[in-house]
Structure 1
Amino acid sequence: MRIVLWSTAVLALVALAGVAYEQTGRYWAQRDFPAPGKMVDVGDGRRIQLDCRGSGSPTVVFEAGLNVDGSLSWSAVQPAVAARTRACAYSRAGLMWSDPSSAPVSAKQVASDLHEAVLRAGERGPFVLVGQSLGGLFATTFTHYFGDEVAGLVLVDPSHPDQVARVAAYMKETRSLRSRIAVSLSWSGLLRAMAPRLLPRAPNQSEHDVRAIRAYAPQSMATQLAEGDATDAMLAEAGAFRDLGSRPLVVLTAMAPYTQAELRGMKITPAQGREVLAIWQQLHAEEAAWSTRGRHLSLPKASHDIQFDDPAAVIEAVLSVVDTVRAEGGARR
């Protein structure tokens, strides 16, 4: 009985220490890494973090992919774009500084949140939307519902509505059990302690940004997990709209060969990896055809996070669309 009592007491102390560690970490996160830009009230008692810089028209709006970086996904790209025109990056509900939403995760909800945030912040179109990975389909969904405000798009290694069916013969996406356990125990400080291993530093990413992302990991990873679970439904939802008219569009495809670690994670061979990349390239060629003025560029040395691997390519693509929109005096549809 004494052993049981002592064991229970030790476990209780460990749990209390973990809770204290987590609460202290949240305080330090708010103190050391305040939100860049502004926190915009979007209604329902929620605020969205929006970081707009520079001046000029059209305004570029960056949409992050399925990650925990929020607006910091674009830290290697936004400053150069902001030197030429207005450039806004933001964090979706539940990521980084933005308050979580009680609404079910959907592409339409993401688009509505973004529209409300830029509207209430006083930002006005025409907009050039830049979306990476799943953010690409959020950008096209925004265009679906608020098309009058969208002048052009850049899709950075974007998701495709048919990607699951097209690559199912080669691999199936799985959600990390380790991440699920860490998220479920975030109250205990476990996720915060694991953040350096779960969230490695990307190329061209500052140490400050890495520390900020890890500091907000307990909230952001819970949101990332929810978005991941809703991905298939959001692909189907976004896939109903594939007509971007004659808006200038650039689609960038990452074609760097998969690393051995990536192949092991996907449980495919190098030969299968090459076949998957070929399918990925074809999917993006199809997306470029969603606009009568779509361009498709393949980047042989860049991996999925092109905005960090080859930021110059993203900057060039964005500014090319900005210049086209300016030359035409607004959007063409």
Structure 2
Amino acid sequence: MKWIAIGIAAIILIALIGGALYEQYARRDAAKRFPPPGQMVDIGGRRIHLDCRGSGSPTVVLEAGLDINGSLGWYKIQDEIAKTTRVCSSDRAGIMWSDAPPHAQDGDHAARDLHAALRAAGIDGPLILVGHSLGGPYMMNYTRQFGGDVKGLVFVDASHPDQIARMRLPGKPPESQDPPLALRIMGKLSWTGLLRLLPAQPGSPGEPKAITDARQAYLGHSIQGAVAEMKAVPKIFAQGGELRTLGDRPIVVLTAAKPGSPEELELEGLTPDEALARQKLWQGLHEDEARWSTRSRHELVPDAGHYIQLDRPDTVVRAVSEVVAAVRAGGASAPGK
């Protein structure tokens, strides 16, 4: 039994060493096969991927939500916006092409990273920030620290700093803020190469294969960054909530209002009435966000889920164009419907 145990341990050790070596090879191979579409900007000993397209002012900055897509999540709208002005997407530290941070991730660090990357690329404003989901608190953190450059904002089904408490339904337990166990395990084991055995995660309908393949190639790196962000969500919300006054900056708040399918409700453990109640709470949070500026518009998007930029990219492009026009007009009234 002793020698059997030693043999099993040796096999596991060899598998781990082999997997780790393969993971290092796979990461180098990914860098060759899927180079960053933008530029790798040095922000002081590490690099942030910044993908800027088009020309003109103001510069639109796209802030992704909490996922492993990073800058790739804007593929349906970035080139459309680039037809009328300069637009930049980026990968936060530890996601896709950007180097992992040397510190715990939070909203303030992410804002400083983005500001340093923009300045290193010669971009100093005026800026219009577009934030999806957790990108909402991230862009509010940026505005709190570097608000002189920020002239307008677009909230794309964005998170609200109070949503953890205010989205709780009566009779339902509080939602856990810890990353799911499966993701934590995946993050811890990413160095072993085991994630390479997982099937490619499906993207949105019509997603180009190159994007799907690139996301999968960088999965081992990005999953660690995403888990780090999940752990910091309460802190990111608290930091973002420190600023709730945007003055007269033009803003548009977009709310996904597509009802969940019966399968989705079952997965989330919600009845149709509970789903409707939750949607009303979500809409109320976005109405609150719209009140942060004296020049705002709140739009419900009934045929889009949480990723409005994928389900209804035209709606997001139109909202961005409205804010761009308002910023260019200076003292013009808030963008209309």
TM-score, normalising length from structure 1?
0.94
1:330/1:188 Cα in 2 relative to 1: closer, same or farther (>3 Å)? farther
Match of 2:159 in 1: 159
Distance 1:102 1:19 in 2: 22
Residue 117 of structure 2 corresponds to residue 111 of structure 1 = no
Q: Secondary structure at the match of 1:185?
A: helix
User: 1:204 touches 1:309 (CA, 8 Å); kept in 2?
Assistant: no
Residue 266 of structure 2 corresponds to residue 227 of structure 1 = no
User: 2:104 touches 2:228 (CA, 8 Å); kept in 1?
Assistant: no
Deviations 1:29-57 (A, max 9, x none): 101011111111111x1111000010011
Question: After the TM superposition, which of the residue ranges 2-11 and 201-210 deviates more from structure 2?
Answer: 2-11
Which of 163, 185, 192 aligns to 1:188? It is 192
Alignment of 1:278-297 (within 5 A): 278-297=280-299
What amino acid is the match of 1:291? S
Deviations 1:57-89 (A, max 9, x none): 111010011111111111111000001100100
Q: Secondary structure at the match of 1:88?
A: strand
Which of 259, 262, 265 aligns to 2:264? It is 262
What is the deviation of 1:236?
1.4
Distance 1:223 1:19 in 2: 18
Match of 1:172 in 2: 175
Q: Secondary structure at the match of 2:198?
A: helix
TM-score, normalising length from structure 2?
0.93
Q: Secondary structure at the match of 1:18?
A: helix
Match of 2:27 in 1: 26
Deviations 1:113-167 (A, max 9, x none): 1111101110131101001001011111111111111110001000001101012
Contiguous gaps of at least 5 residues in structure 1: none
Residue 10 of structure 2 corresponds to residue 6 of structure 1 = no
Distance 2:98 2:222 in 1: 9
Distance 2:208 2:185 in 1: 28
What is the deviation of 1:202?
1.7
1:195/1:105 Cα in 2 relative to 1: closer, same or farther (>3 Å)? farther
1:329/1:211 Cα in 2 relative to 1: closer, same or farther (>3 Å)? farther
Residue 298 of structure 2 corresponds to residue 321 of structure 1 = no
Deviations 1:184-225 (A, max 9, x none): 1111111232262xx321234221111111111111111111
Residue 64 of structure 2 corresponds to residue 64 of structure 1 = yes
Alignment coverage as a number of residue pairs: 329
Which of 229, 235, 238 aligns to 1:236? It is 238
Distance 1:326 1:304 in 2: 29
